Structure 1
Amino acid sequence: MYTDTVDHDEFQLLEETFRSAGPEAVFDLLIGRAREERNHRLLFGTRLMQVRHRLGLPLIETEPAMDVAAGQRPAYEAAFRDAAREAGELCLAGGDIVSAWPYFKALGEPAPVAAAIENATGGENLDRVIEIAFQEGANPRKGFELILEHHGICRAITWFGSNRDYDSRQACLKLLVRTLHRELAAALKETIAAREGAVPQTGSVSELIAGRDWLFEGTSYYIDSTHLASILRFTPELEDAETLRMALDMADYGQRLAPMFHFRSEPPFEDIYLDHAVYLRALLGEEVEAAIAHFRRKAAEPGDTTPAEVLIDLLMRLGRYAEAVAASREYFPDANITPRSCPSAVQLCQMAGDYATLRTVAREREDLLGFAAGVIQS
C-alpha cells in the first residue's frame, strides 16, 4: 500500500470528496495527485484499487489475485495491464527509465523503454540503464554504445562475451570493431602527420600503413594490443562486409607489430593476426582457395575438433555446401559425436536443399528421422 508524507488537509479532502461525490471521485482525486507529482506507485495502486472496487472485491489485496473469481479475472487482468502501462508511461514522461522498466517488462512490452533508452546520454542511474538495455535486453545495441562511451573498450569486450543473442551480438560486434578501428586510424594519422607534416585524408588502416614501414620500428604500437587480440577472436562471426574489411585491416596491422605483441591463441587461430586475416579475407571473397587450403591443413592435424569445425563453418559461409558436407562426414564420421560450433552434416544438407545427400548421410548414420526428412522433401 502506498504511503508518503501527506498534508493532513488532504485526508480531510478525501473524506469530504467521498461524502459529496462517492468512491470514484476519490479515485479521480488520487489519480490527479499522482499525475501532478509524477508518483507512479500511487497511480498504479489507485488504478488497482479502483478496479477492485468496481468488481466488488476487498479494496486492499491480502493475497495476490487469490480473491478474484474466474469470471472476474479477464477484467481484472486487463485493468492490471492498463494500470502498469499508465504508470510506466508516467515514469517515461519524467525521464525515469529505471522505474518504468519493471512495468513494461511485466507487460512484455519493451518498445517504449527501448525508445527512451535510444535518447539516453548519461545521468546518475546510467549503470542501471545500461543493465536494462544490454543485460536485460531492452535495447542491447544502445546499451553497448553507452558501455563503450562511458566505460571504454575493455569493459565492452567483457560485456560482449556474455551476450548470446544473435541479432544484438552482430550489432554490438560491429560497434566494437568500428570503435577500435576508428581509434587505430586516428592514432596512425596523428603519428603520420607529426612525421610527414600533413594529415592523411584516408581512414583506411591498410592505406595508412602501406609504404610506411617506419611506423613499426622497434616496439611501436598504436592501440592496446590485448584489446585488438580480444576483438579479433570474435570477428569470424561478422557478416557485414564493411566491418569485415575493418577487421581485416586491423589483422593486417597486427601482423606488422613486433613479436612481443603476437599473442598465441587457440587452434586454428594460433597466429592470431595471420590466421584471422586469412579467414576474414576469404569471407570477403579474396584468396578463397588459399584460405580453404590453410584451414584444411589445420583440420588434418591431430587433436581437438575445433579446427575442423572452423573449416566446415568457413565452407558453409562461402556457400560451398558440398565440400562442407564432405568435410563433416570426414571429421565427424561417428553419428554420436556432433560438432559444437558448426552445423552437422544433416543440417548442412538441409541448408543446401540437397535431399539426395541428406538421405545418404542419414542412412550412413542410421538416422531414420533424417532419412524421412530427405524422402519427404525430395
Structure 2
Amino acid sequence: MSDAFERLGQALRRGGARAGFEVLAGRFREQKQYPALFELRLLEKRHELGLPLVQTETAAELAPETRRAYDEAFIQAAREVGSLFLADGSIARAWPYFRAIGESAPVAASIEAFCSAEAVPADRRDPAAPSPVAEDAGPGRASEDADAVIEIAFHERVHPRKGYELILKNYGTCRAISFFEQYPDRATREDALALLARTLHQELLAALRRSIEGAEGAAPAPAASAAELIAGRDWLFGEYDYYVDTSHVISVIRFSLDSARPETLEIARDLARYGARLSSMFQFRGEPPFEAGFPDYAIYLDALLRHEVESALAHFRGKLPAPGEDPSAAAAQFLVRLLVRLELYREALDVSLAHLRELGREQLICPTPLELCQLSGDYERMAGLAQEQNDLVSYTAAALQLEQARATSST
C-alpha cells in the first residue's frame, strides 16, 4: 500500500470521515489535482446528506430539500476548483467549472489580466500573472494559451472585446476582419471596430512614412492622418503603388458606416480619401449608392461627420432610381439611414414612402416607414400607414399618440 493510502487510512481511523476529507483536500490542493478535489467535495456532501457515496440516482430522484443542498454543494465546489485553476493562470481549465454554474465574471476578469500581461515587456512581467502569448507567436500564429482564451472570450462570449483584441494581435488584420463580421456582442462592437480601424490606420500611416523617408531621405513631420502625409506627394501613387491591403481598407470603411463615434468615422474617411488616390488598378465599382467606390464612401462619411451635409445629401438624392427600378432600393435605403443619422426624419419618411413601402421588414437595412413615423412624430401618417397594412396594433399606437399630441398642444 502506498504512503498516500496509508496516511488516508490513518486519518479515517483516528478522526473519521472529516479527517479523511481534510487529508485528501490538502493533498489534492498541494498536487494541483483540482478535478479530484471537485469530486471529493461532492463525496463529502453526499456523506453529510446520507446519500449513497457512489452516485447511482438521478437528480430528479432526490427529495427537493436534499437536491437543493446538493446543488449548492456542486456550485461551491465548482467555484472553488474554478478559482484554483484561475489562480494558476489556467483559464481554459477553469472555464468549464464556471460555465457549469453560470458564472462568467471571474473568467472575464482573468481574461482581462491575461491581455494586460501581453502588453507588458517579458522582463517586467509578474511571474505569478497568467501566461501570455508566446513571444514568437506573431501575427498569424498564436500560442496554445491564446487560442484557448480566444475560444472562451470571443466564441463563448465571456469577454468578446478582449477576445477580439487577441485575434487582432495574434492573427492580424485579415483574420480580424473576417471575425468582425460575426462579432457576438452589440454592446462592445463599437470598441472592437474602433480597435480594428485604428490598427489598420496605423499600419497605413507607418507604411506611408517608410516610403516617404526612403524617397526623401528624412522622416516626414508627425502626422495624424494619411491626408497630411499624402499632401504634395503625388509620386506616392504610381500605377502599382499601395500601402495596405485594399480589401482591408474597403472592409473597414464599410463597417464604419454604422459607427456613431467621430474618431472611427474620421479614420474611415481618411482611409476613403487615401483609397481615392490609388491608381485605377485598385479602384472598384461598388454596389449602389457607392458605385464610384472610395469617392462615394468619402462623401457619405463626410455627411456622417456633419461636414458638407447639403452637398452630400444632394449627391445621394441624385442616385435615387425611379420607383421599382432597383428591387433592393439600396440607394434609397442608404439615404434613409443617412437622413436618420442626421435627424432629418421627415425627409427620411418621404424617401421611404416613395421607394421602400413595397419592401418587407426583412429586406430593409434602415428603419421601417412606421418607425420613421414614430421618429418624426408624424402620427397621422402612422395611422394611415397602419390602416393600409391592416395593422390594428400600430393604428392604436398612432391614435393614442395623436390624441396625446393634440391634448398637449391645446393646453
Task: Compute the TM-score of the two structures, normalised by the length of structure 1.
Answer: 0.92
Q: Which amino acid aligns with 1:33?
A: R
Single out whichever of 252-261 and 56-65 deviates more from structure 2: 56-65
- Name the SS for the 2:319 alignment partner: helix
Question: Aligned residue for 2:139?
Answer: none
Paired residues in the alignment total 372
- Name the SS for the 1:299 alignment partner: coil
Aligned-partner Cα distance in 2 for 1:234–1:246: 12
Question: Aligned residue for 1:310?
Answer: 334
Residue pair 1:267, 1:307 contacting (<8 A) in 2 also: yes
Aligned-residue offset at 1:338: 5.5
Greater than 6 Å deviation, 4+ residue runs = none
Residue pair 1:335, 1:365 contacting (<8 A) in 2 also: no
Question: Aligned residue for 1:71?
Answer: 65
Aligned sequence identity (%): 47
Question: Aligned residue for 2:202?
Answer: 182
Aligned-residue offset at 1:161: 1.2
Aligned-partner Cα distance in 1 for 2:66–2:329: 59
Q: Cα–Cα, structure 1 residues 199 and 336, in superposed 2: closer, same or farther, change >3 Å? A: closer
Aligned-residue offset at 1:244: 0.9
Q: Cα–Cα, structure 1 residues 77 and 255, in superposed 2: closer, same or farther, change >3 Å? A: same
CA RMSD of aligned residues (A): 2.0
Question: Aligned residue for 1:3?
Answer: none
Aligned-partner Cα distance in 2 for 1:179–1:221: 17
Aligned-partner Cα distance in 2 for 1:17–1:354: 81
User: Is residue 2:360 matched to residue 1:366?
Assistant: no
User: Is residue 2:109 matched to residue 1:115?
Assistant: yes
User: Is residue 2:159 matched to residue 1:165?
Assistant: no
Aligned-residue offset at 1:99: 0.7
Question: Aligned residue for 1:345?
Answer: 369
User: Is residue 2:321 matched to residue 1:297?
Assistant: no
Aligned-partner Cα distance in 1 for 2:224–2:26: 56
Structure 2: gaps spanning 5 or more residues: 119-132, 134-142, 405-411
Aligned-partner Cα distance in 2 for 1:102–1:185: 43
Single out whichever of 310-319 and 164-173 deviates more from structure 2: 164-173
Q: Cα–Cα, structure 1 residues 211 and 30, in superposed 2: closer, same or farther, change >3 Å? A: same
Q: Cα–Cα, structure 1 residues 318 and 158, in superposed 2: closer, same or farther, change >3 Å? A: same
Aligned-partner Cα distance in 2 for 1:354–1:19: 84
- Name the SS for the 1:233 alignment partner: helix
Aligned-partner Cα distance in 2 for 1:190–1:206: 16
Any idea what the Cα deviations from partners look like across 1:187-221, whole Å, max 9, x if unmatched? 11122223332332112111111222121133211
Q: Which amino acid aligns with 1:143?
A: G
Structure 1: gaps spanning 5 or more residues: 1-6
User: Is residue 2:36 matched to residue 1:62?
Assistant: no
Residue pair 2:220, 2:229 contacting (<8 A) in 1 also: no
Residue pair 2:239, 2:281 contacting (<8 A) in 1 also: no
Aligned-partner Cα distance in 1 for 2:165–2:236: 31
Question: Aligned residue for 1:235?
Answer: 256
Question: Aligned residue for 1:259?
Answer: 280
Single out whichever of 366-375 and 64-73 deviates more from structure 2: 64-73
Aligned-partner Cα distance in 2 for 1:352–1:109: 43
1:12 to 6, 15, 36: 6
Question: Aligned residue for 1:52?
Answer: 46
Any idea what the Cα deviations from partners look like across 1:304-325, whole Å, max 9, x if unmatched? 2232222211111111111222
